[in-house]
Amino acid sequence: MRIAQKTGKPDLGKPVNIGGLEVRNRAFLAPMSGVTDLPFRKLAWKYGAGLVISEMVASEAYVGGEAEMAFKADCEGLPLKIVQLAGCEQVWMSEAAKVVEAAGAQIIDINMGCPSKRVVNGQSGSALMRDLDHALTLIHAVVEAVSVPVTLKMRLGWDHQSMNAAELASRAEAAGIQMITVHARTRCQFYKGTADWNAIQAVRESTSLPLVVNGDIINPETAQTACEASEADVAMIGRGAYGAPWMPAYVAGVLNRSQVEKLIKDPARSIYHFEEMLSYYGIELGIRQARKHLSWYLDRLNLPPETETLRKDLLTATNHRMVQATLLQLYSSADGSYEAANGKIDPYEICAA
């Protein structure tokens, strides 16, 4: 076991090396099922996120050709392609790893942190933290199947009586894992309570790999505090990026506060995201898939109570032009003025503003 030295306050704008691959900064977008689809990841990347990781891909279903898993694993158009795999059997994990590598994945992340009952009942995700010997067989299977770096995402443990993240991290490093991410809660906490960033220090002491802290990071201030408390090298933003695909870039210092305030108030940004989802999924499915994202954008506007009916109209509309028109009305209600978006807007333009 190699012991890492405490480095103090991290510069999240600096590159970090993952298995020989240089990543441009240390603010990552977390993989989130039902959220970090390809349109969302492409936006976060354009704004300046260091890494954007696919939704969790069920290995057996993916190898079996399930269409939903193909969508989740899609990285087309991203310069840095990272796919997260989940599963509980060596054969499917290794086969899925081979397939995603052949499709262009440059990093493969293994999920041992998902707390959902469906995943855990299938003995995947954070259920694997109850049997580290079995977890290691999966890690070995994936590492030996591919030539690209393999990383690992976990929780602190199954519950507070089995906080074994440090042991898993140490054994994973010996097995060839190149980066460790820890969500600072146990599985039994789900997303309740407060993330215990300090508890990740035990993981820091067990490995010299790049260490990523995840959980309750919602802005640059919480990112710095989490990294200092955990002694992690990297901050990973999950729910803090709801309605804010620019948040990792803000945390990394690629965007400043003034630019972010403009982004929040600018309807062109949510309209661009909406149009990208229509293009990717088709109009009917795209409208349904976009509703949660549009709701999160509106949450950041602090709309007055009298707009609630209009908001409900937006989130039940089935006509894409009606969605756009209603969005503009709502932004106008929040700000008092707006400019309609003419055609496609490149969100990366904000970086030069």
Structure tokens that stand for 244 in this block: 């804010």
Q: How far apart are CA 232 and CA 342, in angstroms?
A: 43
Q: Is the pLDDT of residue 5 over 80?
A: no
Structure tokens that stand for 97 in this block: 């790893």
Confidence at residue 335, expressed as pLDDT on a 0 to 100 scale: 58
Q: Is the pLDDT of residue 324 over 90?
A: yes
pLDDT tens digits, one per residue of 128-141: 999 999 999 999 99
Q: Which residues contact 127 (CB under 8 A, 6 or more apart)?
A: 88, 119, 120, 121, 158, 187
pLDDT band of residue 302 (cuts 50, 70, 90) is confident
**Dihedral of CA 281/284/288/294: which sign?**
positive
Confidence at residue 344, expressed as pLDDT on a 0 to 100 scale: 37
Q: How far apart are CA 91 and CA 329, in angstroms?
A: 52
Do residues 118 and 112 touch, judged by C-beta distance below 8 A? Answer: no
Q: Is the pLDDT of residue 61 over 80?
A: yes
Confidence at residue 66, expressed as pLDDT on a 0 to 100 scale: 95
Determine the Cα angle at 177 with ends 173 and 179, to 5°: 95
* DSSP output for 185-232: S-GGGTT-S---GGGGHHHHHH--S-EEEESS--SHHHHHHHHHHHT-
Which member of 75, 88, 114, 227 is catalytic? 114
Query: Smallest Cα–Cα separation from 150: which of 184, 112, 202?
Result: 112
Q: What is the CA 330 to chain-centroid distance, rounded?
A: 28
* DSSP output for 298-310: HHTTT--GGGHHH
pTM: 0.91
- Ranking 86-95, 116-125, 262-271, 276-285 by mean pLDDT, the lowest is 116-125
pLDDT tens digits, one per residue of 219-256: 999 999 999 999 999 999 999 999 999 999 999 999 99
Q: Has 114 been annotated as catalytic?
A: yes
Confidence at residue 114, expressed as pLDDT on a 0 to 100 scale: 87
Confidence at residue 117, expressed as pLDDT on a 0 to 100 scale: 86
Do residues 12 and 28 touch, judged by C-beta distance below 8 A? Answer: no
Map out the domains of the chain as residue ranges.
Answer: 16-255, 261-352
Q: Is the pLDDT of residue 347 over 50?
A: no
Q: How far apart are CA 97 and CA 257, in angstroms?
A: 39
Confidence at residue 8, expressed as pLDDT on a 0 to 100 scale: 61
The percent of residues in the chain predicted with pLDDT above 90, rounded, is 83
Q: How far apart are CA 25 and CA 15, in angstroms?
A: 4
Mean pLDDT of the region 333-343: 47
The sheet that has 234-237: what strands, in order across it? 51-52, 27-29, 234-237, 211-214, 180-183, 150-155, 107-112, 82-86, 56-58
Q: What is the CA 24 to chain-centroid distance, rounded?
A: 16
Structure tokens that stand for 313 in this block: 């109209």
pLDDT band of residue 35 (cuts 50, 70, 90) is very high
Do residues 160 and 171 touch, judged by C-beta distance below 8 A? Answer: no
Q: How far apart are CA 290 and CA 343, in angstroms?
A: 18
Specify whether domain 16-255 bears CATH 3.20.20.70: yes
In the predicted model, what is the mean pLDDT of the chain? Answer: 91
Q: At what angle do helices 320-335 and 308-316 cross, to 10 degrees?
A: 160
Confidence at residue 265, expressed as pLDDT on a 0 to 100 scale: 93
Specify the amino acid at residue 348. Y
pLDDT tens digits, one per residue of 144-189: 999 999 999 999 998 888 899 999 999 999 999 999 999 999 988 8
